Structure 1
């Protein structure tokens, strides 16, 4: 089978031929029909001290099941987060991380909706939104952000603002239901908001905190780091909440599953519409990474083995 790999930090991605892996205990072997490309994986290629497997969201058909698997069987269509080599024709997926893909949904729908949607929905839940509040979503055109904009509206936000890196993304974000679109380097971020879902971090944290109304909440789910001055929180009784999906997946599996069901329900009734920026062949994985690195994507970037 084909698999994408790299040999050194920042090194080129290349295809190699390797044997099809056998599923281990509790694992499914999935014939990959779609693979979601994410910023954390792209960053690992450019920043990790040693080469790591290119994992991430996969969707496809179960072709084998390891010892102890009870929820799925050969022929089932599943999606989930692969921690091994996911940029491949076949990939291992732990049963605990797998969920069924309902009839009528494609593999591309699944990788565009589920993992990114879980992060968006989880960050929104962490913000404790109340109906009628004003929301702001950074990286609003990203795989997670474009779903967060829609979910904030569905949860009753009276006004949703999308923050993006460039004006070329404004029309797309407005099409998602955003009332306003701002650029990161704008002098003003407009009217104060009650909560912010932040996927960027870094230097953007300072203007983001400043954009919060008194008592406002910022949910940080970025791997971009950054520093916030405590005084900036104190004077407005503002708060910052960290959110990590892995803690929910490991510690609250019932909640994790409930969120997955809600995402598919919203997708089925047309309320939540995942957008796909582009589909790339495995051999073009480097081009897919370039789209993410340049922050030019409008929605999800997907590999199609």
Structure 2
């Protein structure tokens, strides 16, 4: 089978395609013949910023080709999606059965990788901010895979005002269609009237303006892998708080909640409350182009690799 990996950090040119044996599923694992791979920002950052190579993980969707010992609830021939922590950029990948779910017959594999993981993170991050009906909510990276869904959650959750923060003005119409009432640019001097909740998927230098956008008692939810530093005095004068959110902690510590959220996603998608957006479907062998699309902030929604 073909798969993509990299040897050194430093840029998209380090990605290359190689031939590799089809892996064997171990206990609790599914072998999935991959039809779509969701590219995630944390993996892109590992390639560009990491100190040593790691397997390119990510969301995958496809058909179960084999099941490992102890697997229940799945069979060969099922269409599934799930998170692969080893080699996801491949024609076949291993997914632990606890991280997988069956794709409804009415949805495609591309739908699945655009919706499930990004939707879970969007919902978890949004709810971590303890939003109340009538709150104003601001979402950074609003045109990205998670941000597009977080905007829709905020709108459906009764926010009085939904603000989309994006990197460039050419994304404004796109996020307004998804429910944004206002659009601000990262380098604007002011992000408008204060908000009650900020859902931040960028981190780094944006943490400063994100905190300053908070109303008294506001909550900033940080779920980005981008790191960054927050001025404690800015929190003090606002009586504001910062909440860290990690989806893996919910998956491991609250599996029943994780499963319920996942089931809810499909229902919200079916009734059109949640509409995932796909920026591009790119051949697996052109993974470097997919990464460049994300690092240049040109993607509108999810970037998907198609073997």
Structures share fold, TM-score greater than 0.5: yes
Q: Structure 1: where are the runs of 5+ without partners?
A: none
The 2-side partners of 1:47 and 1:189 are apart by 29
Greater shift in the superposed pair: 110-119 or 12-21: 12-21
Which position in structure 2 is the counterpart of 1:151?
153
Structure 1 segment 1-305 matched on structure 2, within 5 A: 1-10=1-10, 12-305=14-307
The 2-side partners of 1:21 and 1:208 are apart by 44
- Quote how far apart the aligned CAs of 1:261 are: 1.1
Q: Deviations over 1:7-29 (max 9, x none)?
A: 11235211111111111111000
Q: Under a length normalisation based on structure 1, what TM-score does the superposition of the two structures give?
A: 0.99
The 2-side partners of 1:134 and 1:224 are apart by 24
Q: Under a length normalisation based on structure 2, what TM-score does the superposition of the two structures give?
A: 0.98
Give SS of 1:191's match.
coil
Q: Deviations over 1:224-279 (max 9, x none)?
A: 11111111111111010000001011111011111111111100111110000000
The 1-side partners of 2:204 and 2:5 are apart by 29
The 1-side partners of 2:300 and 2:9 are apart by 27
The 2-side partners of 1:296 and 1:79 are apart by 26
Give SS of 2:120's match.
helix
Give SS of 1:19's match.
coil
Give SS of 2:61's match.
strand
Give SS of 1:187's match.
coil
The 2-side partners of 1:8 and 1:183 are apart by 34
- Quote how far apart the aligned CAs of 1:97 are: 0.5
The 2-side partners of 1:87 and 1:301 are apart by 13
The 1-side partners of 2:14 and 2:276 are apart by 30
- Quote how far apart the aligned CAs of 1:80 are: 0.7
- Quote how far apart the aligned CAs of 1:187 are: 1.0
The 1-side partners of 2:120 and 2:20 are apart by 32
The 1-side partners of 2:225 and 2:14 are apart by 23
The 2-side partners of 1:226 and 1:264 are apart by 34
- Quote how far apart the aligned CAs of 1:156 are: 0.7
The 2-side partners of 1:114 and 1:49 are apart by 30
- Quote how far apart the aligned CAs of 1:204 are: 0.9
RMSD: 0.8
